[in-house]
Amino acid sequence: MPKGLLLCFCFFVILPVLYGQSPGSFLAELDNTVQGTAVDIRGLLPSGPALKIAVGQWFYRDGLPAFSSYWASQLTEALAGLPNRSFILLSGGGGADLTISGEITEVAGIIRVYTRILRSGNREIAASLHSDFARTQNLVEMLLDGGTSSSVPWDVYEPDSRENLLPVEIAADVINRTIHGRGDADYFLLLPDQDGFLRMETTGDTDTVMEFFEAGSERVLEENDDGGSNGNARIQYQVTAGTSYVVKVRGYGDETGAYGFHAFFTESVFPVPDEYEGDDDFSSAKTITLGSSQQHNFHRSNDVDWVKFEISRAGNYTVRTRGVNTTQLDTYIELYDIHQDLVDEDDDGGESLDSCLTLNLRAGTYYVKVRCLDDEPEEPYTIIIEAENAD
């Protein structure tokens, strides 16, 4: 091979862009592009003694997706079928003078396939060309089939982030996504055109966790783990027309897999806020008198209520929550001292799903945090603190 041909010549071949089309027409256009690439490669080869050529791989995001295998196979077939070819095509890389391989990248909605002719001995680039494709569903499915080191492929909407949100039409069909690895999260942008109760939920067999923000803010308005069925997350929130909101969905722990997401307006099934509302943190806890009960409403899933009480003598005291109606309400209570240190907690220590703590306490001020574990809290509950005996 003449020495001069080992310099890096870049031949940029902009081939027809593939827009939305049927799988059959998509493959036909793809095959035509591969055929054109084979012809271009033949034109880049030096004259003289027949060179031995091997076809390698095209990597995408450090993986070898279905598209890579198809491109390599079709290019091998196209090169083998060229008339009057002056090169020898090998089935493997051993003994080859030149190797044809490349990489696949994505930028600004365009999939670019780089094809490079490399000298096998020192990997020096003899020539390079590329082909561009639009990011269509057919192409993305071929790229995402095995295209990452994770066993779960990227979905068609990747990559998305807090800075690159996926706009979602409210009340539209379910959007199919994947959690493809540890640390992966999907971000959805919602812009409601009316005031009301918006429900956001995931579907499928993947255990998901959901966080809900107002766009432009880092403060979490609501979060949920298993509010839906089968480990799915669900949030219902009263939104305001014209305000932008962000939903973040991730897998629980190391959970990965496919899931669906949708958002829609619903009639509120939650009781209206009660007279104690505004009791959502330690500093705004409402005072409750020993021996008396307070009735509270959880007006959304994952609502939190705080109460505080004073005891003047050490002794055994019981903190109890109980659903008002026959249908039991699932609550969780945490007891804190004046320093905000956790004293004890309970989930279902009372009857059915009621929470109940009985423990010996010193004189002083205590705080109780009551959390709702029901996604649709349809009934109020009462909280009572009683002295069992006191010194």
Are 138 and 24 contained in the same domain? yes
Are 69 and 137 contained in the same domain? yes
Alpha helix positions (H), the chain:
23-44, 66-80, 137-144
Q: Is residue 81 a part of any domain in this protein? A: yes
Are 331 and 359 contained in the same domain? yes
Query: Is-contact 368 385, C-beta < 8 A?
Result: yes
Q: Is residue 181 a part of any domain in this protein? A: yes
DSSP code at position 63 = B
Q: Is residue 231 a part of any domain in this protein? A: yes
- Rounded CA gap, 374 and 28, in Å? 53
- Rounded CA gap, 269 and 214, in Å? 23
Are 7 and 139 contained in the same domain? yes
Residue after which a domain boundary falls, among 144, 179, 198: 144
- Here the tokens at position 287 are 């005072």
Q: Is residue 379 a part of any domain in this protein? A: yes
Show Cβ contacts of residue 154 under 8 Å, excluding neighbours closer than 6 positions. Answer: 61, 143, 144, 147, 148, 178, 180
Residues facing 248 on adjacent strands = 187, 211
Are 291 and 262 contained in the same domain? no
Are 287 and 381 contained in the same domain? yes
* Look-up of token digits 């036909």: 28
Q: Is residue 152 a part of any domain in this protein? A: no
- Rounded CA gap, 178 and 155, in Å? 6
pLDDT number for residue 131 = 93
* Number of domains, the chain: 3
87 HSE (CA, 13 A, CB side)? 27
Q: Name the 3-class secondary structure at 211.
A: strand
DSSP tally for the chain: helices H, then strands E: 3, 24
pLDDT number for residue 21 = 55
Are 298 and 228 contained in the same domain? no
Are 247 and 130 contained in the same domain? no
- Rounded CA gap, 206 and 265, in Å? 24
- Rounded CA gap, 150 and 251, in Å? 14
Please give the helix or strand (H or E) that residue 11 lies within, else none: none
Q: Is residue 275 a part of any domain in this protein? A: no
Are 177 and 90 contained in the same domain? no
Q: Is residue 24 a part of any domain in this protein? A: yes
Q: Is residue 322 a part of any domain in this protein? A: yes
CATH number of the domain bearing residue 226 = 2.60.120.380
Domain that holds residue 44: 3-144
Are 101 and 196 contained in the same domain? no
Are 261 and 286 contained in the same domain? no
Predicted model pTM: 0.47
CATH number of the domain bearing residue 41 = 3.40.50
Are 258 and 297 contained in the same domain? no
pLDDT by residue, tens only, the chain of 391 residues: 444 443 344 444 434 444 445 667 888 889 999 999 999 999 988 777 889 998 988 888 767 788 988 999 999 999 999 998 889 998 765 678 888 989 998 887 789 999 999 887 677 888 999 999 988 878 887 887 654 445 677 776 776 788 878 899 998 889 999 998 778 899 999 999 999 989 999 999 999 999 999 999 989 998 888 777 778 888 888 899 999 999 999 999 889 999 999 999 987 666 666 777 776 788 889 999 999 889 888 876 677 899 999 999 999 999 999 887 655 678 899 999 999 999 999 998 888 788 999 999 999 999 999 988 876 676 788 999 999 865 5
Residue after which a domain boundary falls, among 232, 266, 300: 266
CB count within 10 Å of CB 48 equals 9
